Homo-oligomer: A and B are copies of this chain.
């Protein structure tokens, strides 16, 4: 499918903010550039959009070829168009963010090339292009989205404890939330379902295991935390 336009169009790329949650830390995946411009600097992974593919296709291609990942939760963030954002010429970036669940986090961390690395979102180095701005936008989106969409479940395993969910929210929102009030609000909103199972192991009291309530993908709700 060719472009039907006679004159030239700007270059079009997708850039990805890949979030992972591991050991009570929210991290982002960065790539160390091997070419100019911004050689040896850290940047967000990305790729040019091919003529026939959708943005989601482009994102999947980046995730698979550059990062060795399966399909993840993906959501479009914003499209960045500042004329000087790429020193090589006019380039539009459609930013997406992705969420990696903990099981994949470790696999990825183990097999990653040394030019790919997880960074704690509070310890991000200087980034090339306008990627700092993209990263900041992604963090804001995640923080607001978590209050009215069960986006956090993409960052946890299928079964999780109330404490894990609680700590995830504290981590993403950057605030401390009363454990007991959090529990009440989450349960009142029918946000999650108690599976009846318990996590056995080296812990103290064995916590109950919850799962995500699928109905919430349709219904809107509002968590006032």
Contacts and interface: CB of A to CB of B under 8 A. Distances in A.
Nearest to A56: B81
Interface residues of A, number: 31
Given A9-B9, A9-B11, A4 B79 contact: no
A54 B55 CA distance: 20
Contact of A79 (B76, B83, B91): B76
A55 to B, nearest CB: 5
- The copy count of this chain in the complex is 2
A81 B54 contact: yes
A54 B4 CA distance: 21
A8 interface: yes
Interface string A94-119: 10000000000000000000000000
Interface string A78-98: 110111001011111010000
A109 B126 CA distance: 50
Contacts of A51: 7-10, 90
Given A89-B1, A91-B4, A92-B12, A78 B76 contact: yes
Nearest to A1: B90
Contact of A4 (B5, B9, B11, B53): B11
Nearest to A78: B76
A52 interface: yes
Contacts of A8: 2-3, 9, 51
Contacts of A3: 8-11, 89-91
A24 to B, nearest CB: 26
Interface in A17-63: 48-49, 51-55
Interface of A: 1-5, 7-12, 48-49, 51-55, 76, 78-79, 81-83, 86, 88-92, 94
